[in-house]
Homo-oligomer: A and B are copies of this chain.
């Protein structure tokens, strides 16, 4: 394990996009797929979600090199019903499959007012909020989810049989910032535990358990055990529903049928994703939506804060402010990730 101290550098969005593209092109991916992949990962870095940004070159790169992920997938898009789309990801990189699926869903939702697209044969999805933002900027409200490697036990159970499936919601705000919610059902993401391990730190005992279901503060032990869900049976139920929509209904793997990208990096994961998009322009005018979204945010933010130093915020506000700032001033990214990107890109 890498235990060196983490240092960050700041680099412009354009440079980061270009570097990311060169890196993934060197791994045999097509120009278009590289564009899609890097646009999603760099947006995660812009949002400040670096665990789901270009740092993923580490695992994605390894798996592309050893054939665990198909660098040149033949992604097939099938219209199952007028507003229902099935996508076979052909074991491509997750965000490549994700972007194709999102685009197909947006096209159908524009035509029918709402559409759903279900992807199978995919891999680690990456972050959700970039997809939600892309959809929101085009006027679509969205519900997006993916399943994931098993890290959570069924409620009352004692072994990991359920992924920490992320679920995202987005609602456009024509003259302001959209509302974006991107949440997993565990108290924290597995990546946070990996980062604690990398930094040599212990973790709170509410984050995860050992392999026998007992709480632990040791990140290494927790990575061999499983994550704990929020809200007990409610978080368990939500995680199941995300897997049912993303995995079971999409004809992908689900629960323990999902391959772990860590334990079996050379095998397809057969992950699934779902996108439900609603064209808000069919519900009312842009002025109507804008007025309501501004009013909605104001009502919440006008609540007197319990702690005067912490004003009330709304979902996505922190990430979108960070995106704006980093687009202007440059993106903070770990030196380790930059070094790996440059190595793949053949720089120096």
Seen from chain A, the residues whose Cβ lies within 8 Å of a Cβ on chain B are 80-84, 86, 111-116, 118, 141, 143, 153-159, 161-162, 169, 171, 179, 181, 183, 187, 213, 230-231, 234-238, 240-241, 243-245, 248-251, 254-256, 276, 278-280, 282-284, 288, 292-293, 296, 299-301, 303-307, 310-315
User: How far apart are the CA atoms of A319 and B143 in the complex, in Å?
Assistant: 27
Q: Do A305 and B171 touch across chains, with their CB atoms under 8 A apart?
A: no
User: How far apart are the CA atoms of A237 and B318 in the complex, in Å?
Assistant: 13
Contacts of A299 in B (CB 8 A): 161, 255-256
> Nearest Cβ distance between residue A295 and chain B, in whole angstroms?
8
> How many copies of this protein are present in the complex?
2
Q: Do A282 and B81 touch across chains, with their CB atoms under 8 A apart?
A: yes
Summarize A's interface: helix, strand, loop or mixed.
mixed
Q: Do A183 and B312 touch across chains, with their CB atoms under 8 A apart?
A: no
> Which chain B residue shows the least CB distance to A179?
B244
Task: Select A181's contact among B153, B241, B292, beta carbons within 8 Å.
Answer: B241
Instruction: Assess A116 versus B118: contact at CB under 8 Å? Given A156-B306, A249-B280.
Output: no
User: How far apart are the CA atoms of A313 and B280 in the complex, in Å?
Assistant: 38
Contacts of A81 in B (CB 8 A): 112-114, 279, 282
Contacts of A243 in B (CB 8 A): 296
Contacts of A300 in B (CB 8 A): 154, 157, 161-162, 240, 255
Q: Do B116 and A113 touch across chains, with their CB atoms under 8 A apart?
A: yes
> Which chain B residue shows the least CB distance to A117?
B114
Contacts of A154 in B (CB 8 A): 300-301, 303, 312
Contacts of A238 in B (CB 8 A): 169, 181, 183
Contacts of A313 in B (CB 8 A): 155-156
Shortest Cβ-Cβ A-B pairs, 8 listed: A81-B113, A84-B113, A157-B303, A230-B231, A169-B241, A81-B282, A83-B112, A181-B237
Contacts of A156 in B (CB 8 A): 305-307, 310-313
